[in-house]
Each structure stands twice: as C-alpha cells, then as structure tokens.
Amino acid sequence: MLTAILTIGLMVGLFGLALGYAGIRFKVEGNSVVDQIDALLPQTQCRQCTYAGCRPYAEAIAQGEAPINQCPPGGQSTIVALAGLLKVEVLELNTAHGEHKEIPLVAIIAEQSCIGCTLCIQACPVDAILGAAKHMHTIIADECTGCELCLPPCPVDCIDMVPIKQSAVCPSQIPLVQYYRATRSKIRALTQARFKSDRSRTRFEFREKRLLLKKQLDEERRRIKREALQKKHPQKKVADTTVNPVQAALERVRAKKQALDVKPGSTTDLTTAQQKQIEQTDKRRHVTSRTRQGIVK
Ligand code: SF4
Ligand code: SF4
Ligand code: SF4
C-alpha cells in the first residue's frame, strides 16, 4: 500500500516538474493591452494625436492618460473598435486633432522643383522617401502613409498630397452582382489596409531603432575623439564633445529664455499701468524671439 502511494506521489511530482518545464519552455507570449490597442490604430504615424506615433498613443491609452478619440486617420471605426476592446463608452472623434479623411492620401514630389535639401527624408516617419543631398527626391507611394509630416519642412513647397486611386465602379446593372463586387472590393481594401499598417509599424520601429543606434554611435565617436585629443595634449582641457552640440545650444537657449521669464520680485498690488507695462514687455520679448527664430513672416 505504502509503495503504491509513494509511486503515485513520485509520478505526480514528475508530471508536475514536466508540466512546469513545458510551461516555461513553450510559453506563448500573450498580447499586452498596448499591443492590442496598437494593432487597432492605423499606423499612419502622423502625430495628430499629439503623441510621437501610434505606439506612444497606444501606451497613453493603456495607462488611462489619453482618451480613445484622438486619432483622425483611424476615424470613428477605430474609436468603436477601441471602445469594444477596452469596454468603455464610444466617443465622437475629437476634431481638434483633425478631420477624418474618407479617401486616403499619398504624397507626391514635383521632382523638377526639388532642390535636394533632404529635409523631407528626415521628417518621414516610415522612410518612404528616396533621395540624396542636392539630388532629386522621390516618394515610394506604396510605403507612404499619408501622414503629411514631410510638407512643412519643404522649403520650396514641392510636395503635394493626392488621393490614392480607388477601384473602378462596378459596371453591372444587376443589384446582386453589384453587391457581391462591392463586398469583395471592400474585403480586399480592408486586407490591404491591414497589411500596409503592419508594414508601416515595422518600418516606423526600424527607423526608431536606426536613429537610436546612430545617436549612440555619434556619441561614442565623439567620446573616442575627445579621449584621443586628451591623450595627445594632456595639459589641455579638452571640451566634452560627447554632448550633442545642437542639443547643448538648445539647452542654452532654453536657460536664457527661462532667465528672461523671471518675474519682478513683488507682483502683488500692481497698478493697472504697471500690469500693462509688464504685458507689453512680455509681448515684445515674444515677438523679438519669434523674429530671431524666423517664425514671424
Ligand atoms: S495614426 Fe496618427 S493620430 Fe492616429 S494614433 Fe497614429 S500617430 Fe496618432
Ligand atoms: S512621404 Fe510624406 S506623407 Fe508619406 S509617409 Fe513620408 S512623411 Fe508621411
Ligand atoms: S524637402 Fe522638398 S526640396 Fe527638400 S528634398 Fe524634400 S522635396 Fe526636395
């Protein structure tokens, strides 16, 4: 009897161990809430939601920091899908972030006007622009998400947004045939849209990784150069070039601006005239700073 109990106990233990091992070895990664939200977003990467891309917006929604109605490219259908996933109320699209466009757009460059400044390449979140400095640029239409982020930086306004060609209207007069063909084209369009958004996500993530790697390499290169210089001239104090010079300049401007924003020590009991004077000075500083930055036309 005892032997049987011991044998069964041993077998149960062994099975337990085997199941535990299998659980770890063949673990299937479940989709996180962020992944599931991200999968419903259109992957246009346009930043109209005020986040740096679809994934950051998905993270903000998952953390309860952003409502589900800030994505104009996704429109109402995305809001409904998000509400269904998160079991929350369906909201109207917040048009403060932009209007939903029924017909998707794609960018096109008037190549004869392009001066090859590369600014659009740097702005494109999915690397859909081809070109080199001082050479004509062109857009890979299949990869363009229509985010419009390349429009503002172009100094010669040679980029336009044009509607993507829609499939032809069914010529048949028989309602059933019309219905069948319309449904078939809708399914095809949805499948293509899903395929394209998956590809845009991959391209966006790849670009983010590439930019990060480039930043790290640049920092490493500056550090090596600085150490070599320090070795060559041990008495000399070599400037810390590991800091990005553009970033450092921006920090200096920010500090200067903060210093300018310092308010007078006593701001209570001001007369109307004093208050007006402060407001006028603030306004003048603001205009001067914008003029210097070339923002005011
Ligand atoms: S498509 Fe644009 S607005 Fe919508 S989530 Fe992505 S980045 Fe935000
Ligand atoms: S080409 Fe322009 S519109 Fe198209 S994805 Fe790139 S930045 Fe967006
Ligand atoms: S930003 Fe305009 S001018 Fe510059 S490379 Fe792009 S399309 Fe050409």
pTM: 0.67
What are the pLDDT digits (tens) for 197-210?
A: 899 999 999 999 99
Q: Which of 37, 41, 69, 205 to mutate to test the pocket of ligand 1 (most atoms within 8 A of CB)?
A: 41
pLDDT value of position 251: 78
Q: What is the mean pLDDT of residues 37-51?
A: 96
Residue of 35, 101, 47 lying closest to 74 (CA atoms): 101
**CATH for the stretch 31-101:** 1.10.15.40
| Residue minimizing CA distance to atom 2 of ligand 1 | 46
* CA of residue 146 to ligand 3 center, whole Å: 16
- Ligand closest in space to the Cα of 119: 3
Mean pLDDT (whole number) for 102-126: 93
- Would you state the CATH architecture of domain 103-166? 2-Layer Sandwich (3.30)
Please tell me the distance between residue 40's alpha carbon and the centre of ligand 1 in angstroms. Answer: 11
Angle between helices 33-40 and 75-86 (to 10 degrees): 160
Tokens 């069948």 belong to 180
pLDDT at 21 over 70: no
pLDDT tens by residue, 234-257:
877 666 655 566 677 777 777 776
Residue 60 structure tokens: 């903000």
Any residues with Cβ below 6 Å from ligand 2, and which?
107, 123-124, 126, 128-129, 139, 144-150
pLDDT at 193 over 50: yes
Q: Which residue's alpha carbon is nearest to atom 8 within ligand 1?
A: 49
The rounded distance, in Å, linking the Cα atoms of 101 and 135 is 32
| pLDDT band, very low/low/confident/very high, at 6 (cuts 50, 70, 90) | low
The pLDDT, as a whole number, for residue 76 is 96
